[in-house]
Structure 1
């Protein structure tokens, strides 16, 4: 089974549209560092069910071991993003789910394989978990999740929904 680490934005986005189960169906379980848990549940400003992580046993909260490494990134990234990359290195993760552009650049620099919310939706369609992506993209936008217009069109083109 793949070792998958997720950042807060993809989890929040999928929860907002009622599709968090996609992660379970694709990967069985996912790991989040405690910093992501704090961002989503403790300090979260999003209008979502605050118990959704505890209510989904496939999401495993894991503490990072190398607290010192956080100091290297905290000037330009959020705590959760930094901990995702540290945890990915510590666990030798197969993939990280990250949407933030700058965090994705850091992850690539660290040779961490990444995907994002759009990649998850494309993989879910390819796997037969969902039938269409467009309604989900529209739901994300309705829930105030920003999707660049070009990305929106590209995802629909890849999904053969144009």
Structure 2
């Protein structure tokens, strides 16, 4: 029997004046020359870091923004077209300041989008995964939970 190992990721739904921060990136699953896709700042949890540390790091690396976390949107589980299962811990955040212009390789730009613009991207098939729209929908509905919902016994002082 094969061992099931989901990929643990984090994502930040960063909101500023009813606009959402999205990154434009190369579609890693698409064919060469495929159009870029849009996603929240997101990425894999690295060894030794807490979920909170990971979401701050990924947001800085992919968007250049420092953020303040306002809540935990939840655990989103999705199977990608390649069969990989992602467990994405998603946080609601607001921007503090842009701290760098240097972004991760494969990111072509960042910008702020209103819900109607994101819906247009969704209908055009330009969102990285169905999680992007679902996270925004949940944020708009006020579905965030307190950060102390996360109990990190490896990083108790950094769990919230």
TM-score by length of 2: 0.28
Specify which structure has the higher proportion of helix: 1
TM-score by length of 1: 0.28
Specify which structure has the higher proportion of strand: 2
Bigger relative CO (Cα 8 Å, ≥ 6 apart): 2
